[in-house]
Amino acid sequence: MNQQDIAQAVRQLVGGSHRVIVCATGSNGGIDKWLTVPGASSFYDGYNFTYNRNMTTELIGQEVDGSFVSPEMAIQLAAAGYERACKYAVLDGQAGRPIIAVGVTSSLPSDYDKRSPNQAYICARTAKGFFLVHLQLPKEPRQDEALKRMSLSELQAIRDEMREEQSQIVDLVALNTILKLADAEQVAMEAAGTRCEQFYGFPGSMAVEPQRIDADPEDIFDQVFGLDQDPVIDRVNWSDYVLFPGSFNPLHYGHLAMAGWMEYRTQRKVVFQISQHHPVKVELAFKEDLLRRRMRQFRYRHPVVVTRHEGLYFDKSKRFPGAHMLLGADALMHMLNPEFYPEGVVSIVKELEGCRQRGTVFWVVDRQVGDDLLTLDNIVLPPGPFDDLFQHLSAVNTISSSEIRAQQGR
């Protein structure tokens, strides 16, 4: 493997527009070393490698279900890496830079005869979607008649050499995936005995053409994407969930931190929710193509539901009975503003009585408003025994979507 060719290819990323992050549970054939060329800090966020199941669970944010070596694992690694890179891009003031996050998982020659094939799944996540490569590799030698004459150390040496070679092939395919998505020239490669549907050939070598895998659903409304079998709203027992409404333009680490605190506090899963129609300005509605783009931010990572209406929190309580709701203190002030209701405070009291009957609880997060910190304690609740409907979540969101859009030049 020509290290000079690899270094030359990687240098195309230095000073380029993309940020790159890699998360892996297998291989480790050299990609981290290859990416750390002089000037790598201008584009490379880092390399996360795990073998341990609990560490991998922590990295992807959910329990490892089934085999480490699967397209699902590669997708989850890429999704987790992308989310992580988005956070640090914002903290660095670079929210406008495109991100390439790569997840790598592989099964390679070992020190025992294993039945599973030698293979790798490589997934890349960008703003355009998820791209997957499935790489099938030659099997290691088994204990046939010819090999029985070899000592264990000789046989192990063959396997070690094969493992090293296949690790480098896997990482080179991962690197070429990054280069492809960055519109850079790939490293020419040959891999005898290796099969991959996403290779395309040119004289004497192969390159990688990753395939986009996340096709949009025909109908995005009133389905909960990210839960088992993507159930429709009316089939979900909402008493098991917390609804987190918002426009999520864009989804950012402040939202995700609040969701994490909420799940820890209540032991309920958070489902994000976007309404097509503005809760106050009825003439304002998000176009469906815009909603699809926002929904894609959650793909393979967090549950999300998109509704046409239910813009007001009281409307959400009726549509999602039993769900708790997460909102900022500033949103609560608007929700309890008598000017928005035909009968003022009387209307609010009636709505809150309905919320109590449906089991709705509002969890309120502190928000920085100008120079002041707005909390639940600063808000005057309507008259009546409603204190138990409002719970304080001891957390503060210090970043806003508008700040990120400003970094993005929008």
Question: Span 257-269, mean pLDDT?
Answer: 94
Provide the CA 318 distance to its chain's centre, in angstroms. 30
Question: Span 198-227, mean pLDDT?
Answer: 87
Q: Taking all residues of the chain, what is their mean pLDDT, rounded to a whole number?
A: 89
Count of beta carbons in the 10 Å neighbourhood of residue 282: 10
pLDDT band at 39 (very low <50, low <70, confident <90, very high): very high
Are 103 and 123 in contact by the 8 Å Cβ rule? The answer is yes
Q: What is the side-by-side strand order in the sheet with 99-107? A: 44-49, 19-24, 99-107, 118-126, 129-137, 211-212
pLDDT band at 231 (very low <50, low <70, confident <90, very high): confident
Are 16 and 178 in contact by the 8 Å Cβ rule? The answer is no
Least confident range from 72-76, 325-329, 344-348, 399-403: namely 399-403
| Residue 250 CB contacts under 8 Å (≥ 6 apart), including other chains | 86, 294, 297, 401, 404, 405
pLDDT at 150 over 80: no
pLDDT at 149 over 70: no
Are 355 and 389 in contact by the 8 Å Cβ rule? The answer is yes
- Residue 279: what pLDDT? 67
pLDDT at 283 over 60: no
CATH fold of the domain at 224-407: Rossmann fold (3.40.50)
Question: Span 216-234, mean pLDDT?
Answer: 88
Count of beta carbons in the 10 Å neighbourhood of residue 154: 10
pLDDT at 146 over 70: no
- Chain position carrying tokens 């490589």: 122
pLDDT at 158 over 80: no
Are 47 and 32 in contact by the 8 Å Cβ rule? The answer is yes
CA triple 265-268-273, angle to 5 deg: 110
pLDDT at 131 over 90: yes
Which of 349-378 are b and which e, b meaning 16 or more Cβ less than 10 Å from the residue's Cβ? bebbeebeeeebbbbbbbbbeeeeebbbee
- Residue 402: what pLDDT? 81
- Residue 140, class by beta-carbon neighbours within 10 Å (0-12 exposed, 13-18 middle, 19+ buried)? buried
Phi, psi (deg, nearest 5) at residue 272: -75, 150
pLDDT band at 395 (very low <50, low <70, confident <90, very high): confident
pLDDT band at 396 (very low <50, low <70, confident <90, very high): low
pLDDT at 49 over 60: yes
Helix 3-10 to helix 152-181 angle (10° resolution) is 30
Are 200 and 57 in contact by the 8 Å Cβ rule? The answer is no
Looking at the DSSP assignment, which residues form a beta bridge with residue 296? Answer: none
Q: How far apart are CA 29 and CA 35, in angstroms?
A: 12
Instruction: Report the run of H or E that residue 23 belongs to, with start and end.
Output: strand 19-24
Q: How far apart are CA 358 and CA 363, in angstroms?
A: 15
Looking at the DSSP assignment, which residues form a beta bridge with residue 195? Answer: 136
pLDDT, tens digit, for every residue of 343-352? 999 999 999 9
Are 273 and 244 in contact by the 8 Å Cβ rule? The answer is yes
| Domain(s) of CATH 3.40.50.620: residues in the chain | 224-407
Q: How far apart are CA 63 and CA 54, in angstroms?
A: 8
pLDDT at 116 over 90: no
pTM: 0.90
- Residue 202: what pLDDT? 67
- Residue 277: what pLDDT? 87
pLDDT at 192 over 60: yes
Q: How far apart are CA 140 and CA 131, in angstroms?
A: 28
- Residue 186: what pLDDT? 94
| Domain(s) of CATH 3.90.950.20: residues in the chain | 3-212
SS (H, E, C) 358-370: HCCCEEEEEEEEC
Question: Span 294-312, mean pLDDT?
Answer: 93
pLDDT at 282 over 80: no
- Best mean pLDDT range from 129-143, 321-335, 363-377, 383-397: 321-335
- Residue 112: what pLDDT? 63
Give whole-number Cα distances, 38 to 62, 204, 354, in Å.
35, 30, 62
Please state the CATH superfamily assignment of the domain spanning residues 3-212 in this structure.
CinA-like (3.90.950.20)
- Residue 145: what pLDDT? 56
